[in-house]
Amino acid sequence: MDVGSVYGSYYETAKSYMGLRKEEKQAGFAEKVTHKSQVSSEDMTLEEYKEYFNEKMSGLYTHHSQRGMNWVIDITDAAYKRMQTDPEYEKKILDALAKNKAVNFGNYIPQISYMHIDDTYEKCYGYTQGMKENDGYSGSSSAKGTDAGRQKKARQKELLEEYLEKRAQAKKQQLEMLNKKIAKMELERSRQTQSWNSERQMAKASNAYDANIMMEAELVKNITKGENNGNFK
C-alpha cells in the first residue's frame, strides 16, 4: 500500500469520525431544544428558563457585517421572570434582538454593541461605542500582521474596560444620589418631628396657662362671693 492510499484512508476515516461527532452534537442540541420546547416555560426553574431563552437568542440570525463586533447583552433577572410568564413580552424582546442583529453595518462597524433588557420595554435601551474598519466584510485579501491584530484586540479590550468602568461609576453616582435623597428626607422628617413636638409643647403650655387663669378667676369669684355674703349678713 502506497503513502497516498494510507493518507487517503486515514483522511476518510477521520472525516467520517468528525462528521459523526458533528451529527451527534447537532442531534443532542436539537433533542435538548425539542425537549425544552415541550415543557411550558412556566414549569421551568428560573435557571432552566435562562438557558432556554439564551439558546433561542443564540439561534438568531446575525448579519455577516457584524463579524468581530463585541455584543454585550445585559438581561436582568426581573426581565427573565417577566418573559418566562409573558410569551408576548418574550417575543417582543426576541424581535428587537433579531432586528438589531440583522443590521448591515457595511465596511465600518461599532467596537461594542450594548443592550440592556429589563422587565418593561420602557426600561430597555441600547447603544454602540467605538468604530473600526470591517476588514472581513470588505473582502480585502491583504495579509494582516500579527501585531496589528493584537493591537485591535487590545483596543477592543480597552474599550470594553472603559465601558465597564463608566458603568460602575454611573451606578456609584446613582447610589450616592439616592443616599443624599434619603438623608435629605430623614432631615426633613426630623425637622417636622421637632416642629410637631414644639407645637405640642406650646399647646400644652397654652392649655396650662388657660387652666391657671380659670383657676385664678374661680378663686377671685369665690372670694368676692364670700365678701358679699359677709356684707349681707
- Residue 233 belongs to what domain range? 143-233
Task: Tally the C-alpha atoms within 13 A of residue 160's C-alpha that lie toward its C-beta.
Answer: 14
Residue 166, pLDDT score = 85
Query: Last residue of a domain, which of 140, 163, 185?
Result: 140
* Cα–Cα distance, 11 to 138 (Å, whole number): 34
* Cα–Cα distance, 204 to 199 (Å, whole number): 9
Any idea how long the chain is? Answer: 233
Residues 78 and 125 both lie in one domain? yes
Task: Tally the C-alpha atoms within 13 A of residue 177's C-alpha that lie toward its C-beta.
Answer: 6
* Cα–Cα distance, 208 to 204 (Å, whole number): 6
In a domain, 166, yes or no: yes
Residues 125 and 151 both lie in one domain? no
* Cα–Cα distance, 83 to 93 (Å, whole number): 8
C-alpha cell at 200: 405640642
For 60, 106, 207, the CA distances from 38, given in Å and listed in that order, are 20, 39, 77
Digit-by-digit pLDDT tens for the chain (233 residues) are: 433 333 334 334 444 444 544 454 444 544 554 555 567 888 899 999 999 999 999 999 999 888 888 889 999 999 999 999 999 999 999 999 999 999 888 877 888 889 999 999 999 998 888 876 555 444 443 444 556 667 777 777 788 888 888 888 888 888 888 888 888 888 888 888 887 877 777 777 777 777 777 777 777 677 766 655 555 44
In the chain, the number of structural domains is 2
Residues 227 and 170 both lie in one domain? yes
